[in-house]
Amino acid sequence: MTAEVAYQFRNAHEELERAMADYLAISRGSHLYADAEAHAAAEERAWERMMTLRDRADAAAAI
């Protein structure tokens, strides 16, 4: 099951809040990764997801 299927949100703001929490957890959890490169890659993916969802939430708020 992928993250896209595992979570269903009622609105873009809730989805953004989850992405922010995920990013913070990854950022603070460097000790959970095999090495610094794996942590950096995970953090980059989480950041990109959070920025995409921020743009989506902003667009939804503008409607």
Domain contains 27: yes
* Contact criterion met (CB below 8 Å) for 36 and 30: yes
Domain contains 1: no
- Residue 3: pLDDT band (50, 70, 90) is low
- Residue 61: pLDDT band (50, 70, 90) is confident
| pLDDT of res. 6 | 58
Overall number of domains in the chain: 1
The string of DSSP codes covering 3-34 is: HHHH---SSHHHHHHHHHHHHHHHHH-GGGSS
Expressed as residue numbers, the domain containing 40 is 9-62
Domain contains 38: yes
| pLDDT of res. 63 | 77
| pLDDT of res. 37 | 98
* Token pair recorded at residue 49: 């997801």
Task: Give pTM, 2 decimals.
Answer: 0.80
Report d(CA 17, CA 56) in Å as an integer. 12
**pLDDT, tens digit (0-9, with 9 covering 90-100), for 4-51:** 555 666 788 999 999 999 999 999 999 999 999 999 999 999 999 999
Domain contains 56: yes
